[in-house]
A and B are shown apart, each in its own frame.
Chain A
Amino acid sequence: MKWIYILIVLVVAASASGCVDKNQAETTGQTPAQTSVSPGEPGEAAVTPGAVVTPVIATPSAGSPAVSPAPDDLFGTESNLSAIDTTFNDMNMEISLLDTI
């Protein structure tokens, strides 16, 4: 009985301090190595050393749905190219005013 009580206390304490579920989220979500720190369009991934150094092969356990590479994109390069494209589009932001009013 005493041990059950201790176990309950530990589980409650673990939940309160955030040890439970956070690791789960880490493994099911995309890792920074794959997508790294980058702003972007939904699903945009950054081009960082980690992104290509650790090639990703699409398996049921690899990556989050948001940035899962195509099955044949062994190295996860497509998301990096997409990130480059988004930056290129942002580069061409331009405001066009009337010549005169």
Chain B
Amino acid sequence: MKPTNIFRILTPLILALFILSLFSGSVAAQTTAREQYEKTKEQYQVQKEKFDNTRKQFEDAKKLFEEANKKFKNVRDNKSDNRSKEELMEKAREYILRAINHTEAQLQVMKNRLDNPENKGILASDAIKIIDAHTAQLEQMKGNVSQATTIDEIRAAHKELAGIVAKINLETRYFMGMVLNHRIDNFINQTDNVSAKVDDAVAKLKANGTDTEELESDAAEFKNKVKEAKDIQAQTVALFATHSGFAADGTVTNEKDARDFLKKANELQRDTIKRLKEAGKQLIEFGKEFRKLARGKVKVSEKGELEINGEATTTLTAK
């Protein structure tokens, strides 16, 4: 191929790439949010799977240790047996190492949740630093357990681990409770918007001469449930503001107080979710009734708007 031919091919190609590169920014912007969502979801799933796997390994090791312990006690009742003693120690070592792995996996699930862009800034403290400090502590402990030569060293490590795990369990519930509050708040805030849209939908059908009695009843029940949820959520938020048993950074200061606080918070959050689910059911009922009443009249326009009787409405907008 002559050099002139190569230039004839390359010149328009380079030009075309240059022009298209001008649009690549907007293409990238459109895909970034979705890619980010997919990436975050994938990372969470990886951590959750790891957590489930380590839990199984931990439970298995725990069972094996318990069996070895039982066997050792039976032997000891007769005569001491060095082989059983060694076996017990190895099973105990394995059980503790599996427990550490499982604890680290739990920390990673929590870290992943807190690292999520959606949850950035919801905690006053740098919880990630706390999680990383726990992980470093557990890694060090792993080394100590691996090198332990006596059952007493193993027992001491287990005792130390139990203390750390107790704190991590409480902190997990505290931090995740904050994440949950954030999600519930977002949901509740948007129900005001939904309520307005529900009212608008009813008004539009009413204007068409449709009997909207049942629709209005569903809407009222929805609002009622949301109000109940809001009231309970306000109590939860107030409770978290006191964070009894926890320091401002989320670390445990008093285990008993922390446990009591979390128990109360858990009950309230469970109650809020229950009301929100009931509100959601009412919305489903509203949707069913709305479809029934607007049968044959509902149409999604080319613009993606829902039309009732050929009239575009801002009430319900299809994607």
The main secondary structure of chain B at its interface with chain A is helix
Q: Which residues of the partner chain B approach A18 to less than 8 Å between Cβ atoms? A: 24, 27
Q: Which residues of the partner chain A approach B12 to less than 8 Å between Cβ atoms? A: 6, 9
Interface contact A72-B269, CB-CB below 8 Å: no
B14 nearest in chain A by CB position: A13
CB of B165 within 8 Å of the partner chain = yes
Interface contact A13-B169, CB-CB below 8 Å: no
Interface contact B44-A39, CB-CB below 8 Å: yes
A77 to B280, CA, bound (A): 6
A95 to B13, CA, bound (A): 60
CB of B99 within 8 Å of the partner chain = yes
Which of A6, A25, A53, A81 is in CB contact (< 8 Å) with B190? A53
Which of A40, A80, A91, A94 is in CB contact (< 8 Å) with B41? A40
Which of A36, A44, A100, A101 is in CB contact (< 8 Å) with B95? A101
Q: For the side of the interface on B, what is the size category?
A: 35 or more
Contact flags A60-101 to B (C-beta < 8 A → 1, else 0): 011100000011111101101101110110111111011011
Interface contact A78-B284, CB-CB below 8 Å: yes
Q: For the side of the interface on A, what is the size category?
A: 35 or more
Instruction: Give A8-56 interface residues, CB cut-off 8 Å to B.
Output: 9-10, 12-14, 16-19, 22-23, 25-26, 29-32, 34-42, 44, 46-49, 51-56
Q: How far is the CB of A89 from chain B (nearest CB, A)?
A: 9
CB of B118 within 8 Å of the partner chain = yes
Q: Which residues of the partner chain A approach B116 to less than 8 Å between Cβ atoms? A: 37-39
Interface contact B30-A55, CB-CB below 8 Å: no
Interface contact B190-A74, CB-CB below 8 Å: no
Which of B24, B172, B277, B316 is in CB contact (< 8 Å) with A91? B172
Q: How far is the CB of B242 from chain A (nearest CB, A)?
A: 18
Interface contact A61-B269, CB-CB below 8 Å: no
Q: Which residues of the partner chain B approach A34 to less than 8 Å between Cβ atoms? A: 319
Q: Which residues of the partner chain A approach B65 to less than 8 Å between Cβ atoms? A: 98, 101
A70 to B281, CA, bound (A): 12
Q: Which of B123-131, B205-213, B286-294 lies on the face that meets chain A?
A: B286-294
A12 to B316, CA, bound (A): 41
19 A-B residue pairs with CB within 8 Å: A13-B17, A18-B24, A39-B113, A46-B183, A49-B189, A53-B193, A57-B306, A71-B287, A72-B284, A72-B287, A75-B283, A81-B187, A90-B113, A90-B176, A91-B173, A92-B173, A93-B106, A94-B173, A98-B95
Residues of B within 8 A of A (CB): 12-13, 16-17, 20-21, 23-24, 27, 30-31, 33-34, 36-37, 40-41, 43-45, 48, 51, 58, 62, 65-66, 69, 92, 95-96, 99, 102-103, 106, 109-110, 112-113, 116-118, 154-155, 158-159, 161-162, 165, 168-169, 172-173, 176-177, 179-180, 183-184, 186-187, 189-191, 193-194, 197, 266, 269-270, 273, 276-277, 280, 283-288, 290-291, 300, 304, 306, 316-319
